[in-house]
Structures are given as structure tokens and as C-alpha cells.
Amino acid sequence: SVLTQPPSASGTPGQTVTISCSGSSSNIGGNTVNWYQQLPGTAPTLLIYADNQRPSGIPDRFSGSKSGTSASLAISGLQSEDEADYYCAAWDDSLIGRLFGGGTRLTVL
């Protein structure tokens, strides 16, 4: 994927986990980043939009940030129900289309 995420991440309950998303000037560097959570067997749902905004109903344990051509999703106070796949997404000015990262599978140990 043009947006690069680590394939896996893990943590124990209560810990803070950070998932990275690396891109380029044509996508993350020039456009906002969204994050989606996909619980097992379900459709993705919006988690973070516009780099760091939480939709209503999303706990403040989830936070997003961006610096240059990279973005990050941080999950604090990790809970078992956070076990899911997480995807970053951004518009790409060169592709003239929308990109998703390859996804990161989060395991809560």
C-alpha cells in the first residue's frame, strides 16, 4: 500500500498503543487523515477524522495526530474490546483517488 502501516500491534490492558501510517506529500502531507476501526466480522466504522477529530460517541482514549507525511493513532487505557483491525485513509493528489493503509491488527494480550 502507498500508505504504510505495521501489519500488527499488541498491548496489555491499560497500556497505550500507537499505530503509525506513513505516506508522502501527495497524500498525508497535503490532505487530512482518517482512521477506521474494523471489529472482527463487521464493517469498518469511523474512528478519527481530519487528523485528530473524534466523532461523537468515540471515547477520548482514541486520539490521532499527524506530522509531515506520517500520521499516528494512539489508544490509551487499552481494553479487550479494542482488539480489531485499524486502517488509515487519505486522498492522494497524484493518484486522484482515495487510499487506505494496509491495516494494522491490534491484539490485546
Residues that bind another protein (CB under 8 A): 1, 31-32, 34, 36, 42-46, 49-51, 55, 87, 89, 91, 95-103
Rounded Cα distance, 14 and 62, in Å: 13
Q: How far apart are CB 102 and another protein at their closest, in Å? A: 5
The candidate with the shortest Cα–Cα distance to 34, out of 98, 93, 89, is: 89
Q: Is the Cβ of residue 16 or residue 98 nearer to another protein in the bound state?
A: 98
Q: How far apart are CB 51 and another protein at their closest, in Å? A: 8
DSSP 77: S
Q: How far apart are CB 101 and another protein at their closest, in Å? A: 7
Rounded Cα distance, 83 and 27, in Å: 27
Q: Is the Cβ of residue 50 or residue 109 nearer to another protein in the bound state?
A: 50
Q: Is the Cβ of residue 12 or residue 28 nearer to another protein in the bound state?
A: 28
Rounded Cα distance, 89 and 103, in Å: 10
